[in-house]
Amino acid sequence: MNKQLDKKMKKRHWIIITSLLVALIALLGVFVYLTIRTKKKEVVAKPTIALVNEDTASSFNKKDYNFGKDFVSLVSGDSKYNWQVVSRSVADRAYADKSVDAVIYIPQAFSHDILTLEDINPIKSQVNYKLQFSQSALSQNVLNDKITSVLKDFNQNIVKMYYASVAGNISEAQNNMNDVITNQGNVLTNLSNDVYGPFQSTTQNYSSVISAANGLKSENSAWISSQNSFTKSTQSMLDSTSKTFTSQLTGLKQYFDTQKQIADVNLKNGNKGITDQSEDDQKVYFKQFDDLHSGTLNNLFNFYKKDDSSEKGVLTNLQNQVKDYNTLITGVHDDINSQIDSLTANRDHLIDLENKLYTQFFAQTNPDLNNSNFNDSKIASDYQKDENAREALAQNLISSFGQTDSFGSTDYMDKLNDSVSNIAWTSQDYSALFTAMHKKGISTAKYENELDLINRYGSVNPGLTPAQAKFGDAPSNNNTEQTFTKKLKITVPAGVNYSLNLNYPADVQVTYDVNSSVDNKEAKIIETAGTDDLTLYNKDHITTNPDGTTKNEDNTSVATFTIQYNVSLGQTTGAKVKFSWGETGNENVTSEKYILCPANEISEYLGGNNFGDIAELLSQIDDTANLITWIYGKPNYDLDDMLRKLPNSATLEDFKNLSKETRIAS
């Protein structure tokens, strides 16, 4: 019965195969016929194909491959088509101008993606191409078939390369296996020599084992028979199942077509949803960018802002300070040059005075002192001898016998009295100036002693009066205030709170300005106790219900906070103030670095515009005291000797008597 069923099944199977072959041959005949007729009717022109090769070489099994270059070589010998290898821009322009019939793009990662075949997650390589629309359907199909054929040939070459690599790996594995077999042969030899021999003597113990093996063989035969029966029944079942599936093929095809239509509709709807979402996201991102851009510009405007009529900001202030400083330096340089000229004139005057003194007191007819030798100790020791002084004294006695003061009618007294009348006489008159000089570490003891001598002399001369004191406005302390206002504009989304945090050095003071504001009534600024940090609150607000109860409602509008901080830098020369804000407090950061010159009013007063006048005053005090010493003191007297020799309440006679003592001592 089973044999007859098998014969019927085989016969039916061959009938189906024969029918399919006949149908396939008929279809091929029709296709060939239609192709021949179409070829007779249409003449296909030689198409031009642009090839864009952007591929770069990649390594596989220690060997570099460049499949893009191989693809170019593959099509270069094709005479039926006009292949042009060009850049992407040239190809796109030619395609737009319809100068080419098709464009094939080989991407940059083409070789790399192909060579990931052995990776866990290989990358699918792609070759993109596009065809010009042709009025001739045949030309369109032929061109499409040509490109498909070229890509197919190229894929076959790649597969050959891959299998060649696999074959190489198999060859290497075979060599390794041969080594293993050799090792196993050595092991078997050792087992044969060392194990098999001793076991020969134990074969008689295996009779029972052989009997058991025979029994197992019988059972195995029975099992094989049952398996054969099962195989036949399974084959029959599969044949019937195949027929059932064949009858259901049409319904399945219709089902899959329906599913494809559903998938296309879902894809279209999904793409539309993605496009809509993309547009919404783009609006949000552009708004965030605009807010960030506005905030950045606001921060930059604090640094520099220019409009039609003026320039503002830190940079403009710094430029103005630099201009003022340059103007100040120019004035100081001019004052210094004036002082140099004045000091040079004073030096020449003192040298001339010294020449006259040597002539008057040491009988030197032509002392010939000049800029190069006025402080020569050898000349001074040669001139300032006792015999020279006695000779000069004798000459003075002869020329002015009977006079009590040998200087009463000379130009020295006129010069001295004029100098005394042009300055104030006491150190109290210059207390503000001397205090400022003390602050800068400049000693004023010498000038105070010189003023003491000048005051003693001027007070006993009825015809002399002190001049008005100068520089009473000299500062005694430096101004340490260097402050500015920092303004931040921060936009907070609805339903969100931002934390605004500050970071600055310990020697810098930053305080929150209560003039800060927010443009949304629902939002508010919350200060953090004990710190300079703030909470920009725009999450919710409290509303009152009709029954008098309250509830929290979420804020629905963005809020722009204008935050102001007062920054005091003191005397620091460099400081970095950092502002950060966001939901966690550090999503957005801005910082400003300040390089400043600390204010120093004392240095500015002493070394600025007043420098020349102060130096001239101190020089005048010095010259006047020296002139009094020269006229009334001994030739070797200095300021300390004059103050020590004169009584505290000195009179003009004391000065004249000191002069007489000088001549007597001589």
Q: Are residues 584 and 525 in the same domain?
A: yes
Share of the chain above pLDDT 90, in %: 2
pLDDT(325) > 60: yes
Residues 326, 444 within the same domain: yes
pLDDT band at 293 (very low <50, low <70, confident <90, very high): low
Quote the distance between the C-alpha of residue 186 and its chain's center: 70
Tokens for 229? 């029966």
Q: Are residues 595 and 640 in the same domain?
A: no
- 436 is written with which tokens? 């400022």
Q: Do residue 322 and residue 360 come from a single domain?
A: yes
Domain C-terminal end among 573, 599, 625? 599
Q: Name the residue among 615, 664, 621, 661 with its Cα closest to residue 641.
A: 661
- 527 and 544 belong to one structural domain: yes
Whether the per-residue pLDDT at 20 is higher than 80: the answer is no
Query: Within a domain: residue 131?
Result: yes
Domain span including residue 429: 318-476+603-665
Span of 3-17, 49-63, 355-369, 640-654 with lowest mean pLDDT = 3-17
Q: How far apart are CA 491 and CA 587, in angstroms?
A: 13
Q: Is residue 557 part of a domain?
A: yes
One domain for residues 500 and 557: yes
User: How does residue 93 score in pLDDT terms, banded at 50, 70 and 90?
Assistant: very high
Residue 196 lies in a domain: no
Whole-number pLDDT of residue 1: 54
b or e along 558-582 (b: 16 or more beta carbons within 10 Å of the residue's beta carbon)? bbbbebebebebeeeeebebebbbb
**151 found inside a domain:** yes
Mind spelling out the 3-state secondary structure of 554-568? ECCCCEEEEEEEEEE
Judge whether residue 206 has pLDDT over 60: yes
Q: Which pLDDT score, from 0 to 100, does residue 201 have?
A: 61
> How big is the chain, counted in residues?
666
Torsion sign, CA atoms 98, 99, 101, 102: negative
> Do 332 and 352 fall within a single domain?
yes
Domain identity same for 323 and 459: yes
Pull the structure tokens for residue 559: 């809020």
Are 418 and 517 found together in one domain? Answer: no
Tell me, yes or no, if the pTM score tops 0.95: no
For the domain that residue 103 is a member of, what is the CATH number? 3.40.1710.10
* Mean pLDDT confidence for 454-459: 89
Q: What is the arithmetic mean of pLDDT over 205-223?
A: 77
pLDDT over 60 (residue 480): no
Residue 511 in any domain: the answer is yes
Handedness of CA 569, 572, 573, 579 (dihedral sign): negative
**Average confidence (pLDDT) over 531-557:** 85
First and final C-alpha spacing in the chain: 171
SS (H, E, C) 143-203: HHHHHHHHHHHHHHHHHHHHHHHHHHHHHHHHHHHHHHHHHHHHHHHHHHHHHHHHHHCCH
- Whether residue 64 sits in one domain with residue 37: no
Asked if 559 contacts 575 with a C-beta cutoff of 8 angstroms, the reply is: no
**CA dist., res. 281 & res. 587, Å (int):** 20
Q: 142 and 249, same structural domain?
A: no
Residue in the structure block whose two tokens are 């547009």: 279
**In this prediction, what percent of the chain has a pLDDT beyond 70?**
77
The number of CA neighbours under 13 Å toward the Cβ of 516 is: 25
Report the alpha-carbon distance of residue 604 to residue 600 in Å, rounded. Answer: 6
Q: What is the pLDDT of residue 448?
A: 92
Distant-in-sequence, close-in-space partners of 130: CB < 8 Å, separation ≥ 6: 95, 102, 103
Q: Which residues of 262-296 are buried (b: 16+ CB within 10 A; e: fewer)?
A: eeeeeeeeeeeeeeeeeeeeeeeeeeeeebeeebe
* 58, containing H or E segment: strand 58-60
* CA–CA dist 534, 526 (Å, integer): 6
Q: Give exposure, 350-385, as e/b (b: 16+ Cβ within 10 Å).
A: bbebbbbbbebbbbbeebebeeeebeeeebeeebee
Last residue of a domain, one of 557, 574, 599: 599
**What mean pLDDT comes out for the span 205-233?**
79
Query: Three-state DSSP class for 541?
Result: strand
What is the Cα–Cα distance from 88 to 202, expressed in whole angstroms?
83
Q: State whether 323 and 401 are in the same domain.
A: yes
The answer to the question of residue 197 being in a domain is no
Residue 281 lies in a domain: yes
**Residue 472 scores a pLDDT above 80:** yes
pLDDT in tens, 594-616: 655 555 677 777 777 788 888 88
- Residue range 51-65: average pLDDT? 85
The total of structural domains in the chain comes to 5
Domain end marker among 119, 136, 167: 167
Question: Cα 127–130–132 angle (5° rounding)?
Answer: 160
Q: Which residue has the higher pLDDT, 377 or 32?
A: 377
Whether residue 251 lies inside any domain: the answer is yes
The three-state secondary structure class of 474 is: coil
Q: Could you tell me the pLDDT band of residue 666, with boundaries at 50, 70 and 90?
A: very low
Burial (0-12, 13-18, 19+ Cβ within 10 Å), 186? exposed
